[in-house]
Amino acid sequence: MIKSRIMLSTLICAACIRRLREAQSFRSLVLKTERRLLKAQGNVNETEFVNVVFQPSVDTEESQVDIKQETETSDYGNSPSMDYDGCALHKRVKGKQLVAISEKLAQAINASTLLENSNATVFKSKMRSGFPCFYCRDIFVNPTSLREHQTEHPKSHLFKLLTKYTKDALVVYADITDLKCTICNENVPSLNTLKVHLTDEHGKKLYENYSDRVIPFKLGDRENNFVCQICGQSFETFGATDRHMNTHFSNYVCEECGSGFVTKHRLKVHTYLLHRHGGVIKCEQCGKVFASKYKYKIHHEYVHKKLKKMRCSQCTETFIDYFARQRHMEAKHGVELLSYKCTECDRAFNRKYSLKCHVKRVHLARRDVQCELCPFMCFNKSELRDHMFKHGGNKSFECTLCQKSFARKKTLTVHMRIHSDDKRMVIYLSGVFQLNLKLPSIQNNWS
């Protein structure tokens, strides 16, 4: 029993009981794990790393406290010295060091091992002004300047920088263009190949049960051509590629919608922007509704306030959206724009989404969006919204000349041609308004 002297009080508080039991449980767990490790691996004079999960078992407050008094020596001789530094628990037994490693430390070791033994260029997430250096946060417009700059930073400082990040925020962006092992100067095609090469050829130790939090990119000279190094999908912007990486590195998953994210910070931002508001927000100027305040803010800034937030990387001009900036880059600076060509015809598009819509409408003729109130089927949700006005939509667009009302602004625009003596024939085919100038007999009837 705890009480060994008759004159001492027998009272002990519940908090002390819990702490004593936790201490005893933790000590037993460490000793048991130590015995199993030594028995399995034998006496090897090197540092070993094990992952110790501590789950204390605490009885109720009313349970009787019966803790055996331990002697100063354990089954392995002298009492092991213990030191806790916030990252790992170090124990020395008969000259052998055992380290219970944390997840954060294992990730930092894996990342530093890969990056210190390769020519990969590390950076932070791209900003509008360029690529920030991971070491000093200087910003560079093009990847070539960033690669030349990082020769000034010794890679031996990388591990110390990685350990400063919390486990939830640790993520490293790496440019793996022309990736090679710096130990033997051998070219390797990917980070996964580099991992196998370092462990098999050079005996480097990586912890396979933990990730490395390194996200690979290939930064070329063309600003609008980014390819995912995991699945090969191409993107127009770095931001789109970065968001796509969440599908490959889903370390944290949203409980509301199931979306995955690389870091916990991204998950928090996603939850705050998209799931914080339970209802809908309506724009007072145009009547559109949005699921979150963030989406409404983007709509209001770009549609109604016409804010120009997209800045040219080579001059001081600003633009309202990405595509306006790209047209400026092509016209003023001679930057070649990314083009998506159709494999069935000779048409090309500046957006991959436009190419998908073209193939679906023209070559596949696939109408897979159906109205819930009638048999009508169309190509996309936009056409379905236009169709739904036929089922009781509000006619909020009124002609100022004849007071006739319409459910859609597009219909009002076509109607206004009557008052301006515009004799163009506008027909509605496959859910799209088209100008038809090949119907002279019909045009004469308009005269």
In this structure, the answer to whether residues 201 and 151 fall within a common structural domain is yes
142-to-127, 238, 254, 413 alpha-carbon distances in Å = 12, 12, 34, 45
pLDDT digits (tens, 9 = 90+) for 279-305: 577 888 887 777 777 778 888 888 888
Evaluate whether residue 249 is within a structural domain. no
pLDDT of residue 78: 35
Give the model's pLDDT for residue 282: 80
pLDDT value at residue 188: 92
Any domain includes 203: yes
Continuous segment of H or E residues that includes residue 27: helix 14-41
| Whether residue 198 sits in one domain with residue 164 | yes
pLDDT digit string, tens, across residues 394-434 = 677 788 888 888 777 777 888 887 877 665 555 544 444 45
Same domain, 30 and 117: no
Give the Å distances, CA to CA, from 268 to 103, 124, 169, 245.
21, 19, 11, 17
Please check whether residue 69 lies inside any domain of the structure: yes
pLDDT at 111: 92
406's torsion region: left (phi>0), alpha (psi -120 to 50) or beta? beta
Q: How far is CA 148 from CA 144, 151, 173, 403, 410, in A?
A: 6, 6, 17, 67, 54
Residues 6 or more apart from 73 whose CB is under 8 A from it?
79
- What was the pLDDT predicted at 104? 85
The residue ranges of the chain whose pLDDT is under 70 are 1-11, 41-100, 221-224, 277-279, 393-394, 421-447
CA distance 198 to 390: 65
Q: For the CA atoms of the chain, what is the radius of gyration?
A: 33
**What does the pLDDT read at residue 10?**
54
Statement to judge: residues 115 and 70 lie in one domain: no
Predicted TM-score (pTM) of the model is 0.54
| 166 shares its domain with 213 | yes
Task: Identify the domain boundary among 178, 205, 221.
Answer: 221
Q: Do 71 and 61 meet the contact criterion of CB atoms below 8 Å apart?
A: no
Into how many domains does the chain fold? 3
pLDDT of residue 423: 57
* DSSP, res 304: I
The confidence score (pLDDT) of residue 122 equals: 93
**Please, are residues 325 and 310 in contact by the beta-carbon 8 Å criterion?**
yes
Provide the edge-to-edge strand list for the sheet that holds 172-175.
121-123, 172-175, 214-217
The closest alpha carbon to 425, from 404, 409, 439, belongs to 439
- Domain shared by 185 and 113, yes or no: yes
Question: Of 182, 201, 221, which marks where a domain is finished?
Answer: 221
Which ranges of 314-425 would DSSP assign to H, the alpha helix? Answer: 322-333, 352-358, 381-388, 409-419
Domain that holds residue 125: 103-221
Do 38 and 121 lie in one domain? The reply is no
User: Which residue, 54, 86, 118, sits at the end of a domain?
Assistant: 86
